[in-house]
Structure formats: C-alpha cells, structure tokens
Amino acid sequence: MPTENIYAEILTIGDEILYGQITDTNSQWMSAELDKAGFRVARKVAIGDTKAAILQGVTQAEQSVAQVVLMTGGLGPTKDDITKTTLAEYFGSPMRLDEGVLANITRLFAQRGRTVSPTNQLQAQVPQLCQVLMNEVGTAPGMWFERGGKVFVSMPGVPHEMKWLMANHVIPRLRQYFATPVIAHKMIRTINIPESTLSDLIEPWELALPPHIRLAYLPKMGQVRLRLTGTGNDQATLEAEMQAQIAAVLPLIQKNVYGFDDDEIEKTVGRLLVQTGHTIATAESCTGGYVAHQLTQWPGSSRYFVGGIVAYSNEVKMSQLGVNAATLAAHGAVSEATALEMATHVRQQYGASLGIATTGVAGPDGGTPEKPVGTVWIALAHAQGAEARKLQLSSERALNISLTNNSLLNWVRLWLEQAGA
C-alpha cells in the first residue's frame, strides 16, 4: 500500500469567517473527511471575498506541498461572489453555459414555484476548463480543475451543499484520481471516563497497534470518542483486523463504552429501552429538564419516554413528586433519600417501568461546606426497588448539568444491558 502522504489544502472564501461572526465548521468537517479518506491536510486558509486575496490564495496553494486544493464559498448569484470568475481568470479559461446546470437550476426553482431570473441564470456559466460537479441540492455547481497533477475543487459555502458535493463527488473522485488505499474507520464511544484515564488504561494496546491502524482521541463534554483509521489493500481483511483490535481493547474499558460509530448515549438508551420493553420517566431538579430534552431530541422517543417532572422548588418536590417533608427536613433536597423518593414516585405516578432522578448543586452558587457546588445525587427506580449514587462534579453549571445527564444515562444503559435484558 502507498506510504507517501497526499497533502491537501482547504481554502475558505468569505468575510464572515474573518470577522469572527460565524464559526468555521465547514473546514473542520472537510478536514475530518479528508483525513478519513487518507489525505493529510497540510494547511487551512481563510480569506475574504476579494479577487486579490483569492488569486494569492490559489497561487500559494498551487506552489505548496498540497496536491489537493479544496475551496468553499463565493459562489452565490450576487456581485459579492467572485470565486468563479476569479478561478476562470487564474486558469486562463473562458466561460461557457452549462445546459445541465441550467436544467438543475430551473428544476430547483420550479420546486419552489419560481422562475429563473437572469441573475440566477449566471450560475449556469462555468469555466470551460473545469469539470462540473452537479449540485443536486443547490444552484451553484461544484467545479473540478486539474493542473500539473494537482486537483482544485471549488464548492459553495452553504454547509449542506458542500457536504453533499463532498460525499457524492469530491471524495470518491479524489480517491480514484490519487488511487488511495482502502480506508476503514471505526469509532468507539466512551462516556464518564477522563481522557487521561482512558489513555492510561489502553496504553499497552495503543502502543501495540500496527502502523497502518491509527488512533485519535476526540473528546467532548464528558465523552471521549476513540477513532481508529486503518489503511490497507483489501477491505474485508482490513475490517477484520480492526474488529480484532476493537475486540482486544473492549475488555479494558467495557463499562465506559456505550456505543460505536454514530451512536449517541440517548440513542443507545432508547434502543435498549425498546429492545427490553421498558419505558422511562424523569424527575429532575438540578438538570432542570435537560435529561428529558436529551431523551426526546431524537425521533421515535415517544415509544419509550412517557414524560417527566422538573421539580425545582421544595414545594413542587413535595406536592408533585411526593417527597416527604420529613425527608427534606432531615436530609435536604440534595440527598440520597430525596433522590430515591423522586425516582420512585415519578415511576409510579407516570406509570413507567423505570424512573430516574437528579438532585444536586449545579452552581455557581448554592454550595455549602458539606455539599459544595458539583454535589449531585442521581437515582434509578425499577420494579425491584431503587438505587442512588453520589457524584462530585465540577464548579461549572453547564458542565455539571451535562455530566449529570451522562452519568445517569450511562447507568441506565448498564442496568438495561444487565438486569433489564
């Protein structure tokens, strides 16, 4: 298999990125896709909508190590958008009308009950030298140029159009043009374990990985995704090798692995609830509705999510959740006893087979020496009884809400995999 890197450069065209008005998620997504396809991004450049900046950007990219130059932005129908004419000038190509692109524009306009204006017709003009990448989800086509063994692609900056073109044209063509090796990816999704602990746990395995299987740690709010990228000559052999590696590492971290590839913890819990025939109800204090929101953000959640209570005040904890005044007086709202009563009552009251609860000091205020900010109790009630666990989290409110949700849902996952199965 080839061992030489094929380098790429990403050139983002548009003032809004330069002035910090929007986050450049396009180039991050493109970087990750190129990386997955076996290309190495050597440089990312963002420039404004001026002819001088675009010409300089393409010139420097062509002179660089990059063999692939992916450009986004500046392809709209208005006068501000000058990428196409500038590229035509750069490559010394006259323009031509592309009938296929015009038909595509006409079709898209017809869908919205509109006719094509002369300004919009201009979007069907393309440099003669380029190959058109038909954009079925938007009016601006992608354009593919080749010169001196290098490839230059121009795409619209609209994220869903760029992504469609990347998936349907650009990545497949690049892999063919550069005859890249077979690539495979596997994602292991972990929760509730810090990156450094995870890294220590799997170090021997990681160090023993063969050179054609690379590992990346992708952390976000209390979760770390482990991405394996393998390169080889044969898809089936490579996939089998990677599955063997995953089988080797899983026993070390099983408790913290909630899923693979596109799974999310809420989706995993939802799937397990459906599989085991359980339903769930939530009683939330410190998370204030966040757990219910997480469970209901995916389609199909009405099959297992019955409903929930957000009990912020002690009065509501008593009147709506049946928490005893004596419990609150003796132990306080942030306590094992309160968490247990919340989970037990919401389960009964909502007629769900599982009840889950959160009560804690999310912060930044409200901490005491005994119960500092970040002290949280979570509880899980089921037909056999109820259990509670104490968490000691951070000083940040938003992080505490998210980490409480992670801990609770991962607990439900483990419970469903064992007792619930």
Q: What residues between 382 and 411 interact with a copy of itself by CB under 8 A? A: 397-398, 401
CA 420 to chain centroid: 29
**Angle at the Cα of 63 from the Cα atoms of 61 and 66, rounded to 5 degrees:** 55
Least separation in angstroms between residue 32's CB and a copy of itself is 3
SS3 217: strand
DSSP state, 290? H
The residue (of 81 and 284) whose beta carbon lies closer to a copy of itself is 284
The residue (of 15 and 336) whose beta carbon lies closer to a copy of itself is 15
Q: How would you class 166 by CB atoms within 10 Å of its CB: exposed for 0-12, middle for 13-18, buried for 19 or more? A: buried
Determine, following the binding rule CB under 8 A, whether residue 17 of this chain makes contact with a copy of itself. yes
Beta bridge partners of 190: 224, 257
Residue 201 phi/psi, 5-degree rounding, is: -60, -40
Report d(CA 413, CA 273) in Å as an integer.
9
Report d(CA 305, CA 353) in Å as an integer.
10
Determine, following the binding rule CB under 8 A, whether residue 320 of this chain makes contact with a copy of itself. yes
**Of 35-43, 93-101, 130-138, 408-416: span binding a copy of itself (CB under 8 A):** 35-43
- Contact, 413 vs 272, CB < 8 A? yes
Least separation in angstroms between residue 266's CB and a copy of itself is 11
Determine, following the binding rule CB under 8 A, whether residue 302 of this chain makes contact with a copy of itself. yes
Least separation in angstroms between residue 248's CB and a copy of itself is 23
Determine, following the binding rule CB under 8 A, whether residue 60 of this chain makes contact with a copy of itself. yes
Least separation in angstroms between residue 240's CB and a copy of itself is 25
DSSP state, 131? E
Determine, following the binding rule CB under 8 A, whether residue 168 of this chain makes contact with a copy of itself. no
Beta bridge partners of 259: 189
Cα dihedral 87→90→95→100 (10° resolution): -40
The residue (of 152 and 305) whose beta carbon lies closer to a copy of itself is 305
Q: What residues between 332 and 361 interact with a copy of itself by CB under 8 A? A: 349-351
Residue 202 phi/psi, 5-degree rounding, is: -100, 10
DSSP state, 200? H
Least separation in angstroms between residue 96's CB and a copy of itself is 32
Q: What residues between 252 and 291 interact with a copy of itself by CB under 8 A? A: 282, 284, 287-291
- Longest Cα–Cα distance of the chain, Å, equals 84
DSSP state, 254? G
Report d(CA 414, CA 399) in Å as an integer.
22
- Of positions 296, 327, 358, 410, contacts a copy of itself by CB under 8 A: 296
The residue behind tokens 């440089």 is 43
Determine, following the binding rule CB under 8 A, whether residue 142 of this chain makes contact with a copy of itself. no
- Of positions 1, 5, 28, 196, contacts a copy of itself by CB under 8 A: 28
Least separation in angstroms between residue 267's CB and a copy of itself is 13
Report d(CA 217, CA 224) in Å as an integer.
7
Written as one letter, the residue type at 345 is H
Determine, following the binding rule CB under 8 A, whether residue 380 of this chain makes contact with a copy of itself. no
The residue (of 124 and 309) whose beta carbon lies closer to a copy of itself is 309
The residue (of 155 and 401) whose beta carbon lies closer to a copy of itself is 401
Among residues 128, 174, 148, the alpha carbon closest in space to that of 58 is found at 148
Beta bridge partners of 50: none
**Of 36-44, 104-112, 152-160, 322-330: span binding a copy of itself (CB under 8 A):** 36-44
The residue (of 249 and 286) whose beta carbon lies closer to a copy of itself is 286
Which residues touch 319 (CB under 8 Å, ≥6 apart)?
A: none
The residue (of 35 and 161) whose beta carbon lies closer to a copy of itself is 35
**Of 235-243, 292-300, 377-385, 406-414: span binding a copy of itself (CB under 8 A):** 292-300
* Count of residues that interact with a copy of itself, criterion CB under 8 A: 73
Determine, following the binding rule CB under 8 A, whether residue 106 of this chain makes contact with a copy of itself. no
Q: What residues between 183 and 242 interact with a copy of itself by CB under 8 A? A: 216-218
- Contact, 374 vs 392, CB < 8 A? yes
Determine, following the binding rule CB under 8 A, whether residue 300 of this chain makes contact with a copy of itself. yes
Beta bridge partners of 281: 307, 355
Least separation in angstroms between residue 93's CB and a copy of itself is 26
Mark residues 63-92: x for contact with a copy of itself by CB under 8 A, - for none. -x----------------------------
